[in-house]
Amino acid sequence: MKYIDIHSHLNDKRFEEDLPLVLLRMRAAHVASIVVGTDKAMSLRAIALAEEHSDIWATIGVHPTDDPLETYDEAAYCKMAKHPRVVGIGECGIDYFRLEDDRARGRIENMDAEADRQQELFTRQMDLAAAVDKPLMIHGRPEKGSMDAYEDILHILKNGQERYGGRVKGNVHFFVGDTIIAKQFLDMGFTMSFTGVLTFSHDYDEVLKYIPLGSLHVETDAPYVAPAPYRGKRNEPAYVLETVRAVAEIKGIDSEIVTETLLENAKRIFCL
């Protein structure tokens, strides 16, 4: 194992028909993966995959917007969180990107009430992460032209660290913030991960250069956002190598050093 894709959705239905082949390609590329839960069913599926495959680990949690009607089953998530193959809590967090669209489509009735719901849901999962002393896998997506979701996440995390100290820790997945937001996460000891977007967009070059290599991870978020040269296709863990190459190129650091450091980062943060 040379690479760890710290955030994939191999539990997604889009992998049902050919998962064995996807795993063969993953192993041929010397990649292991953390499979992420987004609700109860997907969390249980992530655990099942981690039980079956030694190069897969699981996180369990409730995504902020996938199903606004899902009730947080604290007892069930607490039980899952204690499973030895579960290495984190999430993906959980705050997502304001589509609040207006969701209201217009009738998915939510009130944007303020929805923001409050997401904040409470994230807080409860932060409490769980602290209780079991496992890192958070944080989803943050601000409204366009804003950093609002990150600002609210940071506020909740700061309150959490005041209560729980170093047990509030983890990674901000698919980071799309600026250097100001990145500094605040770094000051709290959090890491940030980047996707294949680095291979076809320069929007995040500045913040990637700003974040120390020791505070970075790479991920695919498969089956989403396939990197160049696979754009438009279903993403998969083997493609994380393209993101590793992009990190090395953008930061101007030898690729072997980048590869080794990213591997150690993942092992350290997720206790792999």
Q: Is 221 annotated as a binding residue?
A: yes
Rounded to an integer, what distance in angstroms lies between the CA atom of residue 221 and that of residue 10?
9
Reference 82, options 36, 121, 38, 129; nearest CA is 129
Reference 175, options 151, 208, 200, 152; nearest CA is 208
Q: Is 53 annotated as a binding residue?
A: no
Q: Is 217 annotated as a binding residue?
A: no
Residues 6+ apart with CB under 8 A from 53: 23
Q: Is 202 annotated as a binding residue?
A: no
Q: Is 7 annotated as a binding residue?
A: yes
Burial of 68 (0-12, 13-18, 19+ CB in 10 A): middle
Residue owning tokens 């193959």: 85
User: Half-sphere exposure of 222 toward its Cβ, with a 13 Å CA cutoff?
Assistant: 29
Q: Is 9 annotated as a binding residue?
A: yes
Binding-site residue ranges = 7, 9, 91, 139, 173, 221
Binding-site residue ranges for a divalent metal cation = 7, 9, 91, 139, 173, 221
